[in-house]
Structure 1
Amino acid sequence: MFAGPIIARELLTAPRPPRYYAARASYAGGLLIVMLTVWQVLVGWDEGNALSILSRFGAILFSFFAYLQLTLMLFFAPIAAATAVAHEKDRRTFVLLLMTDLRDVEIVVGKLVASLLQILTLLLTSLPVFSLCLLLGGVSFGQVIDVFLVTFAAGFFGGALGMIVALWRDRTFQSIALTVLLVVLVLILGEAAARVLPETVWITSALSPFQAIAEAIRPRPERLVGPLGGSSLVFTGIYLAAAGLIVLASIVKLRVWNPGKNEPREQREGDEEGEVEVVEQLYEVDEAEALAESARRSPAAVGAVIAEQVSEARGDRPDSPGLGVGGPVAPGDVMADADAEQYVRRESTGLHVPRRTHRRVVRKFRPYREVWSNPILWRELRTRAYGTKPLIIKGAYVLAFALGVAAYFGGIGPGSGPWDGAKAAIPALLAVLSLILINAQGVTALTSERDTGALDLLLVTELSPQQFIYGKLYGVLYNAKEMVVLPIALAIGIWAMGYMKLDSLIFVLINFAVLVHFSAMLGLHAAITYTNSRQAVANSLGTIFFLMLGILFCAALIIQSRQEFARQLLSFLVFIGAGSVALYGSLGAKNPSPAIGLVALLTPFWSFYCIISILQGDFGAAFLVSLAVYSFALLSMLIPAVSDFDIALGRTNAIQG
């Protein structure tokens, strides 16, 4: 094959685990549940025999499917590619891959296609569901192809972006966080271009994936027979070309970044920590003095050297006998200490022996720093446990957050309030972005320790479970402090400008603090539950993403048809019930407990109740319910992690007690 044995191995091994079949069935089933929900929103319990009703339903359903699938592709494809490489680096198997006979193009393209194989399979799985919209009417075959081309190009571009970031950085959290932030920046810049150039359809649709999807699903009479849209083809060509350039850059930089920049990690981090200060000193040495000192210590070892230097200085042949104190000195002769010193002194006065400059390296050890009573927390806060260049991630996050804040406040005008239109969702989306990054920090805080073998060393120490769990939890929150502080500052700024009441501000701050702890603990819980790092990252990020995305999706549907909410109650119950099953499968399938079962059962339903309470203006009820639900969810993961820590991580087992 073109990309080598990596893709061949993935094609053989990927279909074997049952979870892949479950993922495909779950994805198709989720789309069918969305179809039922949209039907209840638009039609209700009517039969809907009229062709106009069916065609309208098909067009709206197609639009929902297109935006939902693009969002999922933009989130999971980059993370899958970044995690695939970062996982290899943490396990130190990526260096072994570089030592094989595989070419650079085989490694890069093989890892990229192998990581995106499951994502592309899910994309093809949804094609029959999308084809149902063709049977309902209102959608042409060309629109379906356009949507799939745009979605594929956006996903492949995101995968290439995640690949090059993972090859560049040497930490899992850095790879995931930078990948998510770069994808968000690309989306923000694309939407900004659409705002600046609203009349140039070709340019806006070529830069923004959501604008390209909007052009793809827009019905046009000239392509009802099936020809593809020009704007979607332009977007596909540009994004695939950009992905090709990124892959080419990854191939060129593969040997430059790896392993010289990333290995050995311990030595490089120790030097950067400043534990050892290396100082180079220059000093001059007189060759005659050094030779005399050597002669005193070992005359037999320097006899041949003296004879050779004297012969070369006088122009004699190297193999001619030299002149000693009492006669010729053969290379094997031995001189006394006094004779050697007298010979060197006499010969040095008649010969020009240069003074050579030597370099000496002196390693000065700095004094040890005092460790706190909780060494895990001390390491998380006082050392660079998550990499040596965190400013890159923080800078990218601050830039994305600043662009989002500018878009929110820039949309507020005389005829538009702070909570009107699509801009009302910007603060919520920024908060969701912060929670996703905090969750990524939490899950990689433990998976990196396991993959590098450091967790095994920690388990044989006398560290208590409380020290480990609380040290990791608050170490995660400290290292992600920008993700915590900036949303709080935004909420305070909205209140200071008069767009929010004081009681609502208090509710928002308390609930956000609980959600921050919940996100961090969810990452630690997933890392403890799943020994495979890729499964842990996928379950943790997938859970927080689907939980927040499901809440926003339900809110959007309720807002759209709040006048006829009763007829869509059944579909919402089905949708929320499926979410409960998925949440239990992620949190408690491998480590079941009654508390986790209650969390999986109640969290989606009570989140749905909070949405209804907010829309009705009852902020107090929403605050109390969400505080109780997510606090209970936090404790249901925190208490077993502390009490059953030894069993969960393998320090002991249930039989031994």
Structure 2
Amino acid sequence: MLGPIFNREWVTVPRRQGHHATRTVVIGLLMVLGITAWQASVGFQRSATLGETARFGLLLFQIISYLQLTLLLFFAAMSAAGTVAQEKDRRTFILLLLTDMRDYEIVLGKMLGSLLPIFLQLLATIPVLSLLLLLGGISGLQVVQATIVLFGTCVAAGSLGGLIALWRERTFQSLALSVLVLVLYLCVVQIPTLFAASIPSVDWQWVQACIDPFLAMGTVLEPPTRTLPIAPAYGFGLVMLFWTVLLNGIGIWKLRAWNPSGEPIMQREQPTEAELEEAERAQSHAAPGAVREVWRNPILFREIMTYAYGRRPILVKLMYGFVLALIAYFALSELHRPSGKPSFVAAYGLVPIAVLSLLLVSAQAVTSITSERDGKALDLLLVTDLTPKEFIFGKLGGVLWNTKEFLLPPLLFAVYYALYGALTRTPPGSSMAVAFGLNLLPMLCILGGMVVLMIFAMVLGIHVALRIESSRVAIANTLGTMFFLSVGTLIAIYLIVINGGSFANQWLSFLAFIGLGIGGLWWVLSADRPAAALTLAAWLCPLAMFYVVTNVLVAKPGSDESTDPLVPFIVIAGAFGYTISAMLVPLLSEFDVALGRTTVNEE
């Protein structure tokens, strides 16, 4: 019923390399997470009571549910968007339009086919959630409702990514707009809380729970005691079903209006006078139109002065600005509320904006190479007389120029928080000058750390895209590394906080997380072509992140016991700076070897 595209995915997905290993790794991660949560909440020094076992079951159910929800929300959208965008880059999507397949077979086949591996991962974790029933603290109905929320979120996010990819013509625009629209949706669904006081007759909390995935999951974990028309999880499932039908309906309706993009080419029998003049001009130089002087680095010229990333890149930047304004409104309102600043107030704005910027920058970097490869232009560039420095630094310069609007906001937020004394402990009633003076060193360390991470995101995207020939795998590895780097750090922070900031009771479990992080980063950096420098880099980065998290949290930020921010900055800058060098050196000095190509002498 879904057509040959979905049937092909259904048959080939189980045959792919690493299909079973991936599910095994996911279950292993959940097991390590469970052991860590047990050590943080109960410990292994004594036998747990029935009440402690029940509380642990609820805690682990909460951690797994929210973690899966966050990952599914973003990776489902990016997987669907990347699948369609890759077909467009390879110029094969138009071939699908020439077949006798119906429009719904193309749209639904690509969307559901891209989500099939994610569905299998989700199905593999449902037995884990069911086993938590043996611990107590949760009911079978909660497992069912959590599964509904997860599946509804996955399908709706995948439909959104597929629709945007059908609309846009470039991979970066599809990925960036998918992420930005998701963040925009999460901000917009907070609006019903503004009507709670003005229209008390409506249960706005129930309305918001039916449209907000995280609040819907929250009602599953803590069921409301008041009488509701329908359980929020079921209402959320219906809303996601509505969005799925609507988004895919629009995609089916506009499929052939959006694709192929561009003006149709009309063939004329006789050339007109204007065409003759155009042909005469074309004899003087290769391209018609005004002659433009190309810079010494033609790669950098193309990245900056042409439409290398689509005809409307401003749309992505406008969407980012709108999302940034909403995040700033919610974050800065906490900073200036009359009751005082809450703990970690700077993280309310810096964390989401920094994570969003790093994802967009890494997406721009990796797609700057994958789009060239899919368009059959990368091999042409590699056989020219371009030097490795011109190619690599030209790409890096283009990424920097095209993402400058994403790089500046986190840095400006750090300066703003420093002016209002939100980065360290500031005496009440201090002037802005005094607060800025006390927060100057933390601000400089945060700015330096962000700059290093941004450069790391750029170089990582280019390194992975040049190492891995499959565009889908390269994009998934790059975005997955940046996403798990941020989300994994937040999980570590959460596990330390729920244990009262004590790290001594959890260090054994965290060693397992570090081992998994080292293995995953090593695989991304140098799985098929291992190198001693990259192996050392894979060890340094997780250890550095782990040190910074524990150093900051254990020292009670915002108190008189706060740690010196200079030491964590030196650790982060040293580890990630070395990793940047380890990725750049082979690209600049041994270009062919880094790409897995044979040199002339070897031939």
TM (norm. structure 2) is: 0.89
Q: Which moved more, 1:44-53 or 1:88-97?
A: 44-53
Residues 467 and 596 in structure 2, CA contact (< 8 A), matched pair in contact too? no
The one of 212, 216, 223 equivalent to 2:220 is 216
| SS of aligned partner of 1:367 | coil
Report what 1:386 is aligned to. Answer: 309
For 1:10-409, list aligned pairs within 5 A: 10-194=9-193, 197=196, 200-219=204-223, 230-261=231-262, 363=278, 365-409=288-332
Instruction: Write out per-residue CA displacement over residues 320-368 of structure 1, whole angstroms, 9 at most, x where no aligned residue.
Output: xxxxxxxxxxxxxxxxxxxxxxxxxxxxxxxxxxxxxxx9885475431
Q: Which moved more, 1:552-561 or 1:642-651?
A: 642-651
**What letter is aligned with 1:208?**
D
- How many residue pairs align between the two structures? 562
Distance 2:414 2:481 in 1: 25
Does 2:3 match 1:4? yes
Deviation at 1:263, TM superposition (A): 7.8
Distance 1:537 1:262 in 2: 30
| SS of aligned partner of 1:3 | coil
Does 2:580 match 1:634? yes
Distance 2:263 2:532 in 1: 44
Report what 2:551 is aligned to. Answer: 613
Residues 596 and 637 in structure 1, CA contact (< 8 A), matched pair in contact too? yes
Distance 2:138 2:5 in 1: 39
For 1:433-448, list aligned pairs within 5 A: 433-448=356-371
Does 2:511 match 1:556? no
The one of 448, 451, 461 equivalent to 1:523 is 461
**What letter is aligned with 2:473?**
Q
Deviation at 1:369, TM superposition (A): 1.3
Distance 1:650 1:45 in 2: 49
Distance 1:498 1:362 in 2: 66
Does 2:496 match 1:572? no
Residues 169 and 261 in structure 2, CA contact (< 8 A), matched pair in contact too? no
Instruction: Write out per-residue CA displacement over residues 166-193 of structure 1, whole angstroms, 9 at most, x where no aligned residue.
Output: 0000100000000010011111112343
Distance 1:563 1:181 in 2: 33
Residues 168 and 174 in structure 2, CA contact (< 8 A), matched pair in contact too? yes
TM (norm. structure 1) is: 0.82
Residues 193 and 207 in structure 1, CA contact (< 8 A), matched pair in contact too? no
**What letter is aligned with 1:179?**
S
Instruction: Write out per-residue CA displacement over residues 62-91 of structure 1, whole angstroms, 9 at most, x where no aligned residue.
Output: 111110000010011000000000011111
- Percentage of identical aligned residues: 41
**What letter is aligned with 1:496?**
L
The one of 493, 504, 525 equivalent to 2:442 is 504
The one of 329, 338, 343 equivalent to 1:414 is 338
Q: Which moved more, 1:68-77 or 1:494-503?
A: 494-503
Instruction: Write out per-residue CA displacement over residues 137-158 of structure 1, whole angstroms, 9 at most, x where no aligned residue.
Output: 0100010111110111111111
**What letter is aligned with 1:134?**
L
Residues 143 and 228 in structure 1, CA contact (< 8 A), matched pair in contact too? no
Deviation at 1:420, TM superposition (A): 4.3
Instruction: Write out per-residue CA displacement over residues 524-568 of structure 1, whole angstroms, 9 at most, x where no aligned residue.
Output: 011011101001001111111111111111112222224532111
Tell me: CA distance 1:361–1:164, structure 2 relative to 1, closer, same or farther (3 Å): farther
Residues 459 and 651 in structure 1, CA contact (< 8 A), matched pair in contact too? no
Residues 28 and 126 in structure 1, CA contact (< 8 A), matched pair in contact too? yes
Does 2:407 match 1:484? yes
Distance 1:211 1:605 in 2: 34
Residues 36 and 506 in structure 2, CA contact (< 8 A), matched pair in contact too? yes
Q: Which moved more, 1:590-599 or 1:438-447?
A: 590-599
Residues 465 and 646 in structure 1, CA contact (< 8 A), matched pair in contact too? no
Distance 2:230 2:216 in 1: 10
Distance 2:146 2:185 in 1: 19
Q: Which moved more, 1:587-596 or 1:166-175?
A: 587-596
Report what 2:558 is aligned to. Answer: none
Distance 2:344 2:373 in 1: 47
Instruction: Write out per-residue CA displacement over residues 439-463 of structure 1, whole angstroms, 9 at most, x where no aligned residue.
Output: 0000000000000011111111100
Q: Where does structure 1 lack aligned partners over 5 or more consecutive residues?
A: 268-279, 282-358
**What letter is aligned with 1:218?**
E
Residues 107 and 252 in structure 2, CA contact (< 8 A), matched pair in contact too? yes
**What letter is aligned with 2:567?**
A
Tell me: CA distance 1:47–1:192, structure 2 relative to 1, closer, same or farther (3 Å): farther
Q: CA RMSD in A?
A: 2.4
Instruction: Write out per-residue CA displacement over residues 3-31 of structure 1, whole angstroms, 9 at most, x where no aligned residue.
Output: 11111111111101231212111111111
Distance 1:58 1:180 in 2: 32
